[in-house]
Homo-oligomer: A and B are copies of this chain.
Amino acid sequence: MQEECGVAGISFKENSNNAAASLYCALFALQHRGQESAGISIYDGTTTRTKKGMGLVPQAFRKNDINELSSAVGIGHVRYSTTGDSSIENAQPLVINYKDGILSLAHNGNLVNSQELRSGLEAEQRIFHSDSDTEVIAQLFIKELSKKDIISSIKEMVRMLVGSYAILMLIGDRVIAFRDPLGIKPLCIGKLEGGYIIASESCAIDVVGGTCIRDVKPGELVILKNGAMEARQLYNSKHSAHCIFEHIYFARADSILDSKLTYQSRIRVGETLYDEHPVNADIAFPVPDSGTTFAIGYAHRSGIQYLEGLIKNRYSGRTFIMPGQNMREAAVRLKLNTIKQNIKGKSVVIVDDSIVRGTTSRRIVDMVRAAGAREVHVRIGSPPIIAPCYLGINMPTRHELIASDKTIRTIEALINADSLRYISLEGLIKSIGIPAEDFCTGCFTGVYPVEIPGEQCTRAQLKITEF
């Protein structure tokens, strides 16, 4: 079950009771990573208590929930399931009773071998309450924990897991964080007054007044207890496989991922995009909000005036239900409107982060033409997406990806643009400033950093060794 999620864990010194309120804020800052459900588990000195709810963070928790979770330590999760299975039973953290107490677990990522692991566990007469990867991880961990200590159990678990995972566990008064050995999903550490926070993105550290000190390293285990931090490198890999799509699209612009400020990467992508694909035009503008930073960079480098041609309705969201059959075509107009006076008679550059299916791009180009644009040039801040993601980003099947079987010229014609250009993979990687060998670029290349049945995995260099 493919899921996009956000996780956070906090530990203050014992006498604090701020963990839940801080986690609430942290989850609010990570809201873009999951809007379907939210949950917080805390340890109150005696037991682990958990509140979960459906919807955005302010809806998921009732007024008193946070106050009732008074504690110095806890973890939280926001979830967006990409399957239809949106119910409170699937909300995280997953809470499990086992021999020695309660385990609460929050997971961001996607396992490739979930089904195999599950079959193995089921063969041992273990039962599952859901079909989530998270329950598989929890079962594996508990199974090992009966034989070993926490660190050895995680080590053993890692040997079995194939895929991406940034995991936070609450066991008694300890927060235990682990990032997969290739560092596919982000996880970073912040220093707070009297404690530490670990979260999917640094914006969650900022919101609680903390300072982002570093990323959790790929293969690293970090334990928070009583407001102190202890780290241990469990696995090593010569190279990483950071998800490049986090930098381009998924992470917030104000987040720092793997030491790179997303905003700056995107500005540079916009600049490189102009260097690679210049055009003479009167104005440049983004598809808001995903293309905004790219467009600012493109305009800045080119000297073309940055003047918005598309305005986004701030109230449009996923929950909109369109009444009436013959109004279906209005859907894109409900989200975006053109500013005709800015566009009319002009040659325009529309900048966006990526093209997935191409249907929205076509509608936008048509709207801009209808607003009177003389020429419409489309510039995209990532290479063509030719292959699906198996590691945590919600994407359609290969068949639905417009670039999986079409040339750029064909797509240009299909979306009705005067010109369509994508940044090169090299240009993109250079703009972010992380070595090419340390990225997962599966969606742009079809080559993945882990073994996926039926897909290529040439990156043999990604040998993971025990530290």
Query: Interface of A with B (CB < 8 Å)?
Result: 18, 20-22, 24-25, 28-29, 31-32, 35, 56-58, 61, 63, 65-67, 88-89, 95-99, 103, 119, 122-131, 138-139, 142-143, 145-147, 203, 206-209, 252-254, 256, 261, 263-264, 267, 289, 293, 296, 299-300, 305-308, 311, 313-316, 319-321, 323-324, 326-327, 330, 333-334, 337-339, 341-342
Contact = CB atoms under 8 A, between A and B. Distances in A.
A445 B300 CA distance: 39
Contacts of A334: 25, 28-29, 207
B323 A21 contact: yes
A20 B46 CA distance: 42
A289 B314 CA distance: 10
A97 B135 CA distance: 11
Contacts of A253: 308, 311, 339
B28 A313 contact: yes
Contacts of A263: 308, 311, 339, 341-342
Contacts of A18: 324, 326-327
Given A207-B337, A289-B314, A296-B307, 14 more contacts: A24-B324, A28-B320, A29-B313, A29-B334, A35-B315, A61-B323, A98-B127, A125-B145, A208-B330, A253-B339, A254-B338, A263-B339, A263-B342, A306-B306
B126 A129 contact: no
A342 B96 CA distance: 44
A327 to B, nearest CB: 5
A313 to B, nearest CB: 7
Most B-side CB within 10 Å, residue of A130, A293, A306, A334: A334
Nearest to A130: B97
Contacts of A58: 319-321
Contacts of A314: 31-32, 289
B339 A67 contact: no
User: Closest 4 CB pairs between A and B?
Assistant: A66-B323, A21-B324, A99-B122, A97-B128
Nearest to A327: B21
A333 B254 CA distance: 12
A185 B408 CA distance: 49
24 contacts: A18-B327, A21-B324, A21-B326, A24-B323, A25-B334, A28-B320, A56-B315, A61-B323, A63-B323, A65-B323, A66-B324, A97-B128, A97-B129, A97-B131, A98-B127, A99-B122, A125-B143, A126-B126, A207-B337, A208-B333, A209-B333, A253-B339, A254-B339, A263-B342
